[in-house]
Chain A
Amino acid sequence: MDDLLREFLTETTESLSVLDSELVKLEQNPNDPGLLANIFRLVHTIKGTCGFLGLPRLEAVAHASENVLGKVRDGEMVITPTSISLILQALDRIKLLVGQLEATESEPAGEDSDLTSKLNALAEGRADEVAADEAPAEVKAAPVAPEPVVEAPKPAPAPAAKAAKPGKVQSLYERFGGESMVDATIDATFQSVATDAPLKALFEGIDLDLLQGHWRDAVVKALGNINRYKPADLSKLFAPAVARGFGQGQFKALLGHVEGALKMLEVQPDVAAEVQPLFAGIKDDLLAGDKAATKTAVVAKGEGAAGGAVEQAKESTVAGQSIRVHVDVLENLMTMVSELVLTRNQLLQILRSQQESEFAAPLQRLSQVTSELQEGVMKTRMQPIGNAWAKLPRIVRDLSVELHKKIDLQMHGAETELDRQVLELIRDPLTHMVRNSGDHGIEMPADRLAAGKPETGTINLNAYHEGGHIIIEIADDGRGLNVERIKAKALSSGLTTESELDAMPEQQIYQFIFKAGFSTAAQVTAVSGRGVGMDVVRTNIEKIGGTVELRSREGKGTTFVIKIPLTLAIVSALIVECAGERFAIPQMSVLELVRTSSNSEHTIEQINGAPVMRLRDRLLSLVSLRDLLKLSEGGESKQKKDENYIVVAQVGTFTFGIMVDRVFDTEEIVVKPVAPILRHIQMFSGNTILGDGSVIMILDPNGIATAASGERAQGDGIGDAAAANDRAYGDGEKVAILTFRAGDGGPKAVPLALIARLEEFEVEKIEAVGDRRVMQYRGKLMPLIPIEPGYQPLQSGRQPVLVFSDGDRSMGLLVDEIIDVVEERLQIELSASRPGVIGTAVISGKSTELVDAGHYLTLAFGDWFSRGTLTAEKKRQKRLLLVEDSSFFRHMITPVLSVAGYEVTAVDTAKKALDLCERGLDVDVIVSDIEMPEMNGYEFVSAVRGTARWGNLPVLALSSNTAPEHIERGRAAGFDDYVAKSDRDALLASLEQTMANEGDHA
């Protein structure tokens, strides 16, 4: 490609992206002259260059846009959304043309009169016409257009230009090259003026764009073409220069530059001679103001001009201090520096093995210089993140027009710099997320008003550095994630089960939006909702070692937090050894290192062959690097290693441990891609050369996590359960738990509150009915359920049975041995992999499976839960609202209450309960926990007493704290009764009592 064209393409593309955002800004501040001047200048430059390069289509579109902008600048027109839309359309057309130009190196055939005529209509004040058919003009991709349009159809006739046919005598205008040539000449003149210090000083503070424009118009007019030159107040404009002593002599010097420019542009000498005087025609206008304007000039200088002068001067110095360098050059430099760093490391390693060396000092110096060089080169690759944002204002604007929403995009920290490679990689995810926020997050203006929010929604983009990472936050103040919708969608797409969902903290439920094909948008819009998105976003971000987190509050908005490394080229890595091979693990994903051995605090335990480790009251899944990479060689695997190191790594929200044999130190490594022949191995993200010269593979924690968990869903569960930690399950409350042994595997547990009795029966009393076991118990037949299908009960002696009962029905769960009853804080660490188990928790220091009583109840009586409803019908169904932040208790109490004949609605916060009240939910009784985040039970009951709907309802407190003063406080706050959490019977009795009283009152 021609250098000139390449240069033009680079420059135009840059200008276009600036224009996009500037125009959107202009729409918001239509009265900012600086903004307008900048836009005008950019469009003008594009037009000028197009003309110069002989690109008629581009020139025509740019010219028509410039016309409109010119009118605006001259105050003849006001900026309206319509005009901005139209100009944006024109920009899109220019982009399209530029794109094709880039691909084919020539302008595509076709014409743009559809667009230009609209723009011209707008410029001529026929805005109505434009508005009438504002529908986005389809681009006519090279329709039948036998002759490329030479000149743009201008409002004024330009017959000379159109008559550019051989044989005809060409006018001077044509011979000179038309308006674009005039433009080019003037541009070149001013460029050459810029090198002429004394003259340049005189021009300081003058709007050169305006001056150039007027000059061009004057010359074009003088060339006998278009009559649009307005004498205007050029003299006023030029007054500052005149005041500084711009006189005849200086004007001559200026003409000298014109001459130079004409020469430079290789204008035919005869044509140049003819044209030159025409350029001089502006003289009188320029100097006319001479003295008269001096005063104004001083005033102007005192105000805006001074600032403008400074700014312009600053701009030009900045321009002079930067050069354009091709990215390849920088990339190459970076590679070289990376190599240098490696060599340096190698040298240092050698040096360390030598006691005394005369190389020590110079090597230290070399090392330091290398580090500085590395830093310096790194800096050249740094780009402000604003570059990735440049398109966003435009996107948001289009989005708001398309969706009829009002969206305000706020951007902070656009100057935050990061490596361009990283920048490129996050550009698309960012765009997608902002689109999502606009489309899904922000509500319609009416809905917002109804929700008591300002009509205009805000999307806040914030970037900042934090310890070697860059953090990008995308926050909207929209409706927030709808947990129920996500749940429903997760269920319908088979990603999870209802019981799992119930046990999940919200944070974990949110994670579903990162699954492939997951979109809760009720309808697919053109913008988003196709479900190809957040999963790709997450994948892309994780690919570069970043993480995405999300916070959401229903009705308040959603915030995504992206954390990414500053650069990818050189990373710090932990060197580990496994089966005699060394591997590097990027330090970024390493949380901590743990040493395990049989006699230390940490030991590796097994659950069904899967290694786990207890780490600060949490269970950590372990991955054996040896097994994963199939490293074990014959005899080696036989000897059980006593000592292990665990590298605790985090990928997204999934935390896991990698078992390795040894851990060395950390080293700065340069990530090199692996050979194509090895690229399919997902365990490695690259390879590198260590200080000692050996090649080492770099492990990819993402790949390991995927391989380890097989399916990420499970992994998310572990990580999130841990993240949600105390909030979700424990809140520090102790629960009485019965532990027992039954079937294979370790100890099992069930909350004591669910068990009616513990019994031991003679084995002979157990009878078989069909394939079920039953026994006579208290004059009735009681079904006996094995813990798992293949479970063999004892053959002789006494069989321990856990009896679950409800009213007149009982069910027995066969177990081997009852171990103990303990009071423990329950934290479910691992989600269940099979029915009948809620999850795994650490109880009495042992990993214990928590049994899902509900599952066995269903096995015993298929209608256990539905029966509740039947009875309830008989006694007029009571509706009960359960407010309990611990999902464990919600899970446990809800079946108990359902069985007792209540229709239970369970929510996890007092806030949600009150929301339900507002939405008009009718209930008969409320049972609420006391200790809850945000709003506690006391506050809640006071709030309930204040509502019209629920004011007179019975409200029961449910708490683990039953000290008399608490009970007193509860009654004072408005609770009708106060029941201990673990006391199931007391709760039911109290409910019955309360309801009975209520009945009396009614």
Chain B
Amino acid sequence: MSNVTTLSRGAAADGSVPTVSGIQNDVVSMTVAGQLFGIPVMAVQDVLGPQRITRVPLAPAEVAGSLNLRGRIVTAIDVRRRLRLGAREKDQQGMNVVVECDGELYSLIVDTVGEVLSLPTAAYERNPATLDQVWREVSCGIYRLKEGLLLMVDVQKLIGSAKAEAA
């Protein structure tokens, strides 16, 4: 049953490359372990607060479990675990950023979700060569912001490579 008939808003749902042609790029900002991350706003389906998550035994480490998003089952991926960062504080619950990848919904669990930023293409840069391998894998570039550096997440790669690991 391929029953995927949801909000396929994000044409460039993978959000791999920010639109270079436009001057401004709309990005949902979020933080994981103090680091600022961004996902193209069109790739984001939903932002949810803490959810009841069902653990999936034997699943890859970064899979936090499954959750119910309005009748659809969404696989939750803990970005901290994916990026080999330390575990979240006990009292910190984490936010869910729901994205679509190959017709399946995934929820990325991050620490906080910020506002939607319009970022100028001029501030965009490629990954620095010194970036950690795991990070370089999932990032497709960096924006220089006043508040700090924002790492653009390649959703496809973030989930895809987790999938490859699982297979």
- Residues of chain A whose beta carbon lies under 8 Å from any beta carbon of chain B: 331-332, 334-335, 339, 342-343, 569, 581-582, 629-631, 672-673, 675-681, 683-684, 687-689, 693-697
Contacts and interface: CB of A to CB of B under 8 A. Distances in A.
B55 A581 contact: yes
A581 B3 contact: no
A681 B167 CA distance: 9
A677 B68 contact: no
Given A331-B1, A677-B163, A683 B71 contact: no
Contacts of B73: 672, 675, 687-689, 695
B159 interface: yes
A676 B104 contact: yes
Contacts of A689: 68, 71, 73
A353 B46 CA distance: 30
A677 B75 contact: yes
27 contacts: A331-B1, A332-B5, A334-B1, A335-B1, A342-B71, A569-B1, A581-B54, A581-B55, A630-B57, A672-B1, A672-B73, A676-B102, A677-B59, A677-B159, A678-B56, A678-B63, A678-B75, A694-B52, A694-B68, A695-B65, A695-B66, A695-B67, A695-B73, A696-B54, A697-B54, A697-B56, A697-B57
Contact of A675 (B1, B53, B75): B75
Nearest to B67: A695
B3 A695 contact: no
A687 B66 contact: yes
B162 interface: yes
A678 B52 contact: no
A581 B57 contact: yes
Contacts of B68: 689, 693-695
Given A677-B159, A695-B68, A332 B3 contact: yes
Interface of B: 1, 3, 5, 52-60, 63, 65-68, 71, 73, 75, 77, 102, 104, 106, 159, 162-163, 166-167
Interface of A is mostly: mixed
* Most interface-central of A569, A581, A673, A695 (chain B CB within 10 A): A695
Contacts of A631: 57
B166 A680 contact: yes
A92 to B, nearest CB: 33
A673 B58 contact: no
Contacts of A335: 1, 3
Contact of B58 (A672, A677, A681, A693): A681
A676 B54 contact: no
* Most interface-central of A343, A629, A676, A696 (chain B CB within 10 A): A676
Nearest to B162: A677
Given A331-B1, A335-B1, A581-B54, A680 B71 contact: no
A629 B57 contact: yes
A334 B3 CA distance: 10
Nearest to A334: B1
A695 B1 contact: no
Contacts of A339: 71
Contacts, number: 78
A630 B66 contact: no
Contacts of B57: 581, 629-631, 681, 683, 697
B3 A677 contact: no
B166 A343 contact: no
B75 A683 contact: no
- 8 tightest A-B CB contacts, nearest first: A629-B57, A335-B3, A675-B75, A695-B66, A695-B54, A677-B163, A681-B58, A689-B68
Contacts of B54: 581-582, 694-697
* Most interface-central of B68, B106, B163 (chain A CB within 10 A): B68
A961 B94 CA distance: 76
Given A332-B3, A581-B57, A677 B63 contact: yes
A738 to B, nearest CB: 46
Nearest to A328: B2
Given A679-B166, A680-B167, A689-B73, 7 more contacts: A339-B71, A343-B71, A675-B106, A677-B159, A689-B68, A694-B52, A695-B73
B2 to A, nearest CB: 8
Nearest to B54: A695
A290 B5 CA distance: 64
B59 A681 contact: yes
Contacts of B66: 675, 687, 695, 697
Contacts of B163: 676-677
A331 B5 CA distance: 13
A678 B71 contact: no
Contacts of A331: 1, 3
B59 A678 contact: yes
Contacts of A688: 73
A322 B71 CA distance: 33
A345 to B, nearest CB: 11
Nearest to A346: B71
Contacts of B159: 677
A882 to B, nearest CB: 51
A275 B162 CA distance: 70
A331 B2 CA distance: 9
A838 to B, nearest CB: 36
B160 to A, nearest CB: 9
A626 to B, nearest CB: 10
Nearest to B60: A677
A686 to B, nearest CB: 9
B63 A673 contact: no
Nearest to B62: A677
Contacts of A673: 1
Contacts of A582: 54
A334 to B, nearest CB: 7
Given A581-B54, A683-B58, A694-B52, A677 B166 contact: yes
A501 B63 CA distance: 46
A631 B54 CA distance: 13
* Most interface-central of B52, B60, B75 (chain A CB within 10 A): B75
Nearest to B2: A331
* Most interface-central of B55, B57, B167 (chain A CB within 10 A): B57
* Most interface-central of B53, B65, B71 (chain A CB within 10 A): B71
Contacts of A581: 54-55, 57
A653 B159 CA distance: 40
B3 A678 contact: no
B164 to A, nearest CB: 9
A683 B163 CA distance: 18
Contacts of A675: 66, 73, 75, 104, 106
